[in-house]
């Protein structure tokens, strides 16, 4: 049975599609790119934004950094609230805490936005540790985020990867778990492409919050 739980945020606890994709759309417009179909921007949900702007729109790192600044202009005011919490998530978190488990958020989103979103949905009280990336570009890989979350989660306790699990909807979450010898649960109800979680090596893959609850409380 697990004792330590690291949760991704976007696509795992909440559905952030409208907020993220519309903020990306806003940023692209500053570069003269009009993308009307928000569905095409779904791949931006999960990985670091700089990497996504470079990969999907061929930007240089300098251009991508400017795009992230424009993205945050929109996201910090409006986009972070264009978000929905998945049904059953508050109940799942409450159940885990009542069972004496220690919970952490390990997100590629900047910590300041993560905290705002958790507070908006009134679930911040369930987490012992909240770790995201830095607005200055620090902790920009999932491996680094997981490393910091583990450091804080274990505190003065002996690291216990056998009783620690990472839960997320993208390959980056699974890769972050594997890099630190953790168990992993892939959430196929999020934004992974077909076969992505299997290819990344997720130990368990769930298709709903209900089956996630079963996997975490077995």
**What pLDDT is attached to residue 155?**
85
**What pLDDT is attached to residue 158?**
86
Measure the CA angle with vertex 101, ends 88 and 124; round to 5°. 55
Are 101 and 55 in a shared domain? no
Task: Using DSSP, state whether 81 is helix, strand or coil.
Answer: helix
Is residue 49 within 8 A of residue 69, CB to CB? The reply is no
In sequence order, the 6+-apart residues with CB closer than 8 A to the CB of 152 are 104, 128, 129, 131
Are 76 and 87 in a shared domain? no
Separate counts of helices (H) and strands (E) for the chain: 9, 8
Alpha-carbon gap, residue 45 to 192, rounded angstroms: 9
**What pLDDT is attached to residue 199?**
98
Closest CA to 71 of 10, 40, 27, 32: 27
Are 155 and 74 in a shared domain? no
Helix (H) or strand (E) holding 38: none
Q: Is 8 a catalytic residue?
A: yes
Structure tokens at 67: 């795009």
Structural domain total, the chain: 2
Alpha-carbon gap, residue 203 to 195, rounded angstroms: 13
Are 165 and 108 in a shared domain? yes
Closest CA to 128 of 217, 5, 13: 5
Are 203 and 133 in a shared domain? yes
Question: 17 vs 33, 123, 149, 200, 216, CA distance in Å?
Answer: 19, 19, 25, 22, 25
**What pLDDT is attached to residue 157?**
83
**What pLDDT is attached to residue 1?**
84
> What pTM did the predictor assign?
0.94
- Indicate which CATH number applies to the domain containing 99: 3.40.50.1000
Is residue 179 within 8 A of residue 62, CB to CB? The reply is no
User: Which stretches in the chain have pLDDT values below 50?
Assistant: none
Structure tokens at 169: 């909807």
Are 130 and 100 in a shared domain? yes
CB-count exposure of residue 108 (10 Å: 0-12, 13-18, 19+):
buried
Are 60 and 142 in a shared domain? no
Are 119 and 33 in a shared domain? no
CB neighbourhood size of 79 (10 A): 23
In sequence order, the 6+-apart residues with CB closer than 8 A to the CB of 37 are none
Domain around 70: 17-81
Alpha-carbon gap, residue 139 to 132, rounded angstroms: 8
Are 208 and 194 in a shared domain? yes
């Amino acid at each position: 049975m697990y004792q330590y739980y690291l949760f991704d945020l976007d696509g795992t606890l909440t559905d952030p599609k409208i907020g993220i994709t519309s903020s990306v759309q806003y940023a692209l417009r500053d570069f003269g790119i009009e993308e009307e179909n928000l569905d095409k921007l779904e791949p931006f949900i999960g990985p670091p934004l700089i990497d996504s702007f470079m990969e999907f729109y061929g930007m240089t790192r300098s251009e991508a950094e400017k795009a992230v600044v424009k993205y945050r202009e929109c996201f910090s005011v409006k986009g972070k609230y264009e978000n929905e919490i998945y049904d059953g998530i508050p109940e799942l978190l409450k159940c885990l805490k009542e069972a004496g488990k220690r919970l952490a958020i390990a997100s590629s989103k900047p910590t300041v936005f993560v905290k705002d979103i958790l507070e908006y949905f009134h679930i911040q009280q369930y987490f012992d540790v909240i770790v995201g990336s830095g607005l200055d570009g620090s902790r920009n890989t999932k491996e680094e985020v997981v490393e910091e979350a583990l450091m804080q989660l274990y505190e003065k306790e002996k690291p216990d990867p056998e009783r620690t699990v990472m839960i997320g909807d993208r390959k980056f979450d699974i890769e972050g778990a594997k890099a630190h010898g953790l168990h992993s649960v892939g959430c196929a109800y999020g934004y992974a492409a077909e076969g992505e979680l299997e290819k990344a090596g997720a130990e368990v893959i769930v298709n709903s919050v209900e089956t996630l609850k079963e996997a975490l409380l077995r």
